[in-house]
Each structure stands twice: as C-alpha cells, then as structure tokens.
Amino acid sequence: MSGDSRQGPNILVSGTPGTGKSTLVAELLKSCSSMKSVNVSKLALDKNLIEEFDSERAVPIINEDAVLDELEPLIAQGNMIVEYHASEFFPKRFFDRVVVLTTDNTILFDRLKQRGYSEGKIRENVECEIFQILIEEAKESYDEEKVSVWPSETKEDLKRNVDRLREFILEWRENNS
C-alpha cells in the first residue's frame, strides 16, 4: 500500500497480553484525535467472527479471513491503530509501522494475576514473553525497518512510547502529503 490516498499511517500495536497495548492505544488517542483504533479481539467478538472456542486454553479462535474482510476498508482509510497480540496473519501491506511491546516477566506475571487469569493462562503468556514469540513473529512477518520493540513497564515508558508514535504519525503525514 503506497499511502497515496490515505491521510495518515496504519499502525499495528502487538505484544503478549498484559504488556500494555490497550493502555498505549488509549493514551495515544487522547493526544492524536485524528487516529482511530480497532481492537481485533473485540471486533471478532462483537461481530461474531469466531471460528471455535479453544476450551483447553480458554481462548476464542478468530475467523481470520472474516476479520481481514472487516479490517480492509478501515485500513484503506488510513489513520488506523490496530491492536492485537499477534501480527502474522495480517497482510504485510496493511501496516506502515509495527510496534511490539515487551514487559519484564515478573511485572507481566503480576499484571496477569491482577487480571484474574488462571495459573495456566498466566504461565502460557509469561512463557510467550520469555521466549520472545511475538517479537520473532513480527520480525518474520514485516520488513525489519518497520518493526519496533519497545519496553512497556513504567509510566515513563508509556509516555515515551506515546511520543514516539505521535512523532511517527506526524512524520508520515509530512512525507506523504
């Protein structure tokens, strides 16, 4: 996607559950009112784009093709922040920037415990973070220069991540106007 007809970039915010995707997106929207966001898990649930429920892992399996059909027109408009833990199933052309948030294991453990996740679900997610599964996934799925891996542990991290994304958005608009 060249960006010719878009007013702004499309950004994917990825990362293990609990790393702070929703928090970052909410903060960014406060200071970047022209951006819109879509949470893929929520979209799939709201529009019933669920293929099955994985009872062992207690997670819904989304219908990826149906989700992509929903996302396509939103992506075509630009100015879209997409939030999802994984990054691989989107077409490469969807995003101008892919951010993967990371969090220290002990902090992540506490956040997921606070969220009321079961022991198994906490373990699965903390292992996902330890083995850097989603960082690898993003690096394998997108051109290296588009992928940023940012710590998301403190209020300072949050502020810095918001500032960096805002800068990227402004720069993209300048370069593509």
Annotated binding-site residues for ATP read: 18, 20-23, 115
Largest distance between two CA atoms of the chain: 49
Pick one of 11, 18, 40, 90: the residue that binds ligand ADP (CB under 6 A).
Answer: 18
| Choices 3-11, 18-26, 46-54, 139-147 (CB under 6 A): range interacting with ligand ADP | 18-26
Write the CB contacts of 38 (distance below 8 Å, at least 6 apart in sequence): 71, 74, 80, 81, 82, 83
Q: How far apart are CA 13 and CA 54, in angstroms?
A: 24
State the number of CA atoms in the 13 A half-sphere of 89 facing the CB: 16
How many residues interact with ligand ADP (rule CB under 6 A)?
A: 15
Q: How far apart are CA 126 and CA 104, in angstroms?
A: 9
| Residue 23 binds to ligand ADP (criterion: CB under 6 A) | yes
Pick one of 6, 8, 21, 87: the residue that binds ligand ADP (CB under 6 A).
Answer: 21
What phi and psi, each to the nearest 5 degrees, are found at residue 126? -65, -40
Write the CB contacts of 54 (distance below 8 Å, at least 6 apart in sequence): 60, 61
| Residue 6 CB coordination number (10 Å) | 19
Chain positions 97 to 116 lying near ligand ADP, rule: CB under 6 A, are 111
| Choices 2-10, 14-22, 68-76, 90-98 (CB under 6 A): range interacting with ligand ADP | 14-22
Output 27 or 64, the one with its CB closest to ligand ADP.
27
| Residue 129 binds to ligand ADP (criterion: CB under 6 A) | no
Q: How far is the CB of 17 from ligand ADP (least distance, A)?
A: 4
| Residue 9 binds to ligand ADP (criterion: CB under 6 A) | no
Taking CB atoms, the residue at the shortest distance from ligand ADP is 20
Tell the residue number behind the tokens 């997106």, with chain if given: 25
| Choices 41-49, 68-76, 147-155, 166-174 (CB under 6 A): range interacting with ligand ADP | 147-155
Tell me the chain's radius of gyration from C-alpha atoms: 16
State the residues that interact with ligand ADP by CB under 6 A: 15, 17-23, 111, 152-155, 157-158
